Structure 1
Amino acid sequence: MTRGVLSATVVILVALAMGIAPAVHADPSNDGHDPYFNEDRYAAFYTPPDPLPAGAPGDLIRTEPSRLVLEPSGQLGAIVATGTRIMYRSTDARGNPMAVTGTYFEPDNNWPGQGPRPLIVYGPGTQGQGDQCAPSRQFNQGIHWSPWVDLMFNYEELFVATMVARGFAVVMTDYQGLGTPGVHSYLNSVSEGNAMIDAGRAAMRLPDTSLDPHGPVAFWGYSQGGGAAASAAELAPSYGPDLHVVGTYAGAPPANLKEMLPYLDGSALAGVIGYTLNSFIATYPELEEVIRAALTPRGVDLLAKVQDQCIPETILKFMFRHLQPYFNDDIKEVVDQEPFKTLFDMQRIGRRKPNAPVLILINRYDPVVPWTVANQLGRDWCAQGTDVQFWTNEEPPFLNKLVVNHALPMLVDGERALQWVADRFNGLPTTPNCGSF
């Protein structure tokens, strides 16, 4: 649900308009000899020890150096940082310990601001649900591709490269089940928020970095990442009180999933409903039978297929589909019935008060996350006394079913968000606007 979605959509639609299939081929180096393109190469690191070693949330389980490239050859530009792949302990939505992977970026450049080097805990946007889509793998490859349209662009590298060049340390989580065994808990607010908080803890505990273990931290994310960052912001007072959180940037946060369904219908991103239902089943397996009973054979087939896909493949194969054919009954009624009513309600964000300022940013005509959802999140937090700055991007609607107004604001307002975060690290006054949005 980010700029990578837009790029992938444009490539696919241009190819289709020309009457050809997208030219996706296996990388010639993906023959088992180049370790960065051989998925088996990742098995040893990404398979957690069983049982998990004793420890606390945020404890490191294992680490290894991580190659950082902007494209497969590694010759065209560089991320001016040293990468470390990490596996750390966290807590899932049921309160059980889990292993999560991610990447820590130690900048080559000094931090030019005030105080110790700050840490940005980065929640990635929608990658997909297959293990090959994990951001910590994508930073090794730049672009992942293999036969049958298994394609992924590492679109998160653009902001990470900028952040480390400016002296920010960054740690990016893969979230639960992305890269590691199991199903990715897509848009599960608790597991994603916990994974963000514990990524921050893990980075602070990583040896031989320039971080102060008690230094300042900010959460950052857009779309799926915006929801993860928002969840981390409100979970931090209770789950991560040891982190010195100074602010959170939550761009286009999906704070109310139920309100998004009409927007996904017929959209390039219609297939992500499969990610969400797979996440529900993986987190609450006792509800699998009733969830599957609500689906038509097409709906069951959707869940099976998207579970191993990255977002470009999901777009290609399920774009512009209507959601109703995936459900046996009227979808408007289904979401108000159990267990869906409770499942969607459990993912709501805005019921707890963050302990640091928050910037919420969204386009007024966002075709994926309704403006009203992000606005209500801001109002909910303001009502609890949170320091909130709410910013509306007024880019007019354009090709809404291609989710342009969801993807472009991340780029257009990215500098605004990064400056806001830098101001928090430098201790500058905030400019909350509760009561005026």
Structure 2
Amino acid sequence: MTVNGDVIGRVGATGAVLAPGTTTPRPPSEDPFYYPPSGLDGYAPGTVLRSRPIEVALFGVVPQQVSAWQLLYRSNDLHGRAEAVVTTVLLPTPGADGPEPSDRPLLAFQSAIDSVTDRCAPSYALRRGAWAPGSITQLEWLLVANALRRGWAVSIADHGGSHGNFGAPREPGYRALDGVRAALHFTPLGLRSDTPVAAWGYSGGGMATSWMVEMAPTYAPEIDLTGAVLGAPVGDPGRVFARLNGGCYSGFPALVIAALARSYPALARVIDADLTDDGRRRLAMATRSAPLAVLVRMAFHSIDEHLSRPLAEVLAEPGMQAMFDDLRLGDSTPACPLLVVQPVHDQVIHADGVDDQVARYRRGGASVTYIRDRLSEHFSLLPLATPLALDWLADRIAGRPVPEQEETRTVWSVAAAPARWRGLLDMAATAARIVLGQPLRQESEPPVPAAPTLAA
């Protein structure tokens, strides 16, 4: 093992690390690169334990012309125990125009992993040769690559940890922040300890980004977190759980149950005592499947059907109430300015829960610009809001003040203004380059400009 360097040859006694260029990567549970070294408690959070260059590919098939590495670093879980986590760090194609390395900002992108299986961890799903059908991260690559096109560095942490703790509180923030620490000190990225850092995530990634900005003031105050965009960031997972159960998107409650049983004894007791045999089979399926597959297979299945007593009775137990209280966002105040975007008619994350999350942040003194979109629904808002998100973050990175205006606005569409049309055209050009495996930026191409931020 090397610290802040490449792993060459064997790691421990378990086998060799896959060489760069290998097209059949092992999933994390079978890859020795992910195994923590002995004496993990002795390393400071964010310490790079080992690194390796990798190849990134669209859907595991189309190689991408970017520079990419995986960093294994020390972080903490929900209970403060040391753990080893991986982040994927990326730079634009070498030689492309962009900021000087010393001036390059870092974007911490939190993917909507929304899964327990390790095949959906970003560090696996983004690799060439990865087999992760149904992974949301593979779809999000078409959007996050627009940050690389601007010349930014990007860190995409496995914020669910090695066990895929989808929905857990606080620890996604620890993992994302420690991934930033690791990236800032990883020499090939050319960053500094005071490099401006922006954060972005949507849906499950918006929830993880919320935990990141909530934990940052106390857990990683030295990071220059300039701003964060939270897209449909869940707000109150307990309310979302109750609303989705039995409907078209009831796979999400099943995934949350599968992920949180290890962290909350009250939930584990319910599974042991009250879940039917068919319920156990479905929970096992959710544990090993990608989120899109779970959504299809669990559509319109109510948890009530798989319990030996009414769900309302289970949810009323003090231990379960305490768990959902622990999952609720907004009780810690972020120090950086926030942009929150939310569909008014979101069929997955209802707007009232996000309204309340924003209200809790504001009561704590946070600066929150909140835009509610009438025409978008849950899945369309992420791509439509990408130009707005990146332009807003570019302004924060540049040190421009947040414009003074109404803090909450409801618009017909975040993509309706001419200022956003250029961004959507740039996204289409980026997507074409991704699909064709071309460089995201040519050496002669001018930087993508930041449009007026909030003309929506």
What TM-score does the superposition give when structure 1 sets the normalisation length? 0.82
Sort the Cα spacing of 1:341 and 1:434 in 2 relative to 1 into closer, same or farther, 3 A. Answer: same
Sort the Cα spacing of 1:313 and 1:51 in 2 relative to 1 into closer, same or farther, 3 A. Answer: farther
Structure 1 residue matching 2:366: 3-state secondary structure = coil
State the match for 2:6 in structure 1.
Answer: none
Letter in 1 for 2:148: V
- Unpaired runs of 5+ residues, structure 2, are 1-20, 411-456
Letter in 2 for 1:281: A
Superposed CA offset, 1:317-371 (max 9, x none): 2123223213333323422323211111101111111111001111001111110
State the match for 1:82 in structure 2.
Answer: 67
Superposed CA offset, 1:180-211 (max 9, x none): 3xx31111121111111111111001112221
Q: 2:108 aligns with which of 117, 121, 124?
A: 121
Sort the Cα spacing of 1:308 and 1:114 in 2 relative to 1 into closer, same or farther, 3 A. Answer: closer
**Percent identical:** 26
Sort the Cα spacing of 1:433 and 1:324 in 2 relative to 1 into closer, same or farther, 3 A. Answer: farther
Matches within 5 A, 1:303-322: 303-322=283-302
- Unpaired runs of 5+ residues, structure 1, are 1-33, 397-404
Letter in 1 for 2:85: V
User: Does the 8 Å CA contact 1:189/1:347 hold for their aligned counterparts?
Assistant: yes
Q: Compute the displacement of 1:435 (Å).
A: 6.8
Matches within 5 A, 1:255-274: 255-274=235-254
CA distance in 2, matches of 1:331, 1:162: 44
State the match for 1:64 in structure 2.
Answer: 52
Superposed CA offset, 1:25-79 (max 9, x none): xxxxxxxxx943352695111222244262111111111001012244435xx34
CA distance in 2, matches of 1:361, 1:435: 10
Letter in 2 for 1:423: D
User: Does the 8 Å CA contact 1:66/1:84 hold for their aligned counterparts?
Assistant: yes
Superposed CA offset, 1:75-109 (max 9, x none): 5xx34x31001111111111111111120012234
Q: What is the RMSD of the two structures over their aligned residues, measured on CA atoms?
A: 2.4
Sort the Cα spacing of 1:73 and 1:290 in 2 relative to 1 into closer, same or farther, 3 A. Answer: closer
CA distance in 2, matches of 1:143, 1:43: 13
Q: Compute the displacement of 1:268 (Å).
A: 3.9
State the match for 2:127 in structure 1.
Answer: 140
State the match for 1:199 in structure 2.
Answer: 179
Superposed CA offset, 1:270-302 (max 9, x none): 122232123222123576234432423333222
Q: 2:157 aligns with which of 157, 168, 173?
A: 173
Superposed CA offset, 1:156-184 (max 9, x none): 2112211101111100011243xx3xx31
User: Does the 8 Å CA contact 2:110/2:208 hold for their aligned counterparts?
Assistant: yes
CA distance in 1, matches of 2:24, 2:358: 42
Structure 1 residue matching 2:361: 3-state secondary structure = helix
CA distance in 2, matches of 1:314, 1:95: 30
CA distance in 1, matches of 2:154, 2:282: 35
Sort the Cα spacing of 1:427 and 1:317 in 2 relative to 1 into closer, same or farther, 3 A. Answer: same
Sort the Cα spacing of 1:73 and 1:40 in 2 relative to 1 into closer, same or farther, 3 A. Answer: closer
Matches within 5 A, 1:409-428: 409-428=381-400
Superposed CA offset, 1:358-392 (max 9, x none): 01111001111110111111111111111100011
Q: 1:379 aligns with which of 355, 359, 363?
A: 359
Sort the Cα spacing of 1:288 and 1:54 in 2 relative to 1 into closer, same or farther, 3 A. Answer: same
Sort the Cα spacing of 1:367 and 1:196 in 2 relative to 1 into closer, same or farther, 3 A. Answer: same
CA distance in 1, matches of 2:265, 2:246: 29
Matches within 5 A, 1:180-219: 180=162, 183-219=163-199
CA distance in 2, matches of 1:235, 1:331: 32
Superposed CA offset, 1:191-233 (max 9, x none): 1111111111110011122212211111110011101111111
State the match for 1:47 in structure 2.
Answer: 35
Sort the Cα spacing of 1:110 and 1:266 in 2 relative to 1 into closer, same or farther, 3 A. Answer: farther
State the match for 2:226 in structure 1.
Answer: 246
Q: Compute the displacement of 1:151 (Å).
A: 4.8
Structure 1 residue matching 2:380: 3-state secondary structure = helix
Which deviates more, 345-354 or 316-325?
316-325
Sort the Cα spacing of 1:278 and 1:255 in 2 relative to 1 into closer, same or farther, 3 A. Answer: same
Sort the Cα spacing of 1:286 and 1:378 in 2 relative to 1 into closer, same or farther, 3 A. Answer: closer
Structure 1 residue matching 2:275: 3-state secondary structure = coil
Sort the Cα spacing of 1:96 and 1:118 in 2 relative to 1 into closer, same or farther, 3 A. Answer: same
Aligned residues, how many?
A: 385
CA distance in 2, matches of 1:436, 1:160: 25
Structure 2 residue matching 1:276: 3-state secondary structure = helix
User: Does the 8 Å CA contact 2:202/2:230 hold for their aligned counterparts?
Assistant: yes
Sort the Cα spacing of 1:38 and 1:167 in 2 relative to 1 into closer, same or farther, 3 A. Answer: closer
Sort the Cα spacing of 1:266 and 1:186 in 2 relative to 1 into closer, same or farther, 3 A. Answer: same
State the match for 1:362 in structure 2.
Answer: 342
Letter in 1 for 2:347: P
CA distance in 2, matches of 1:370, 1:286: 26
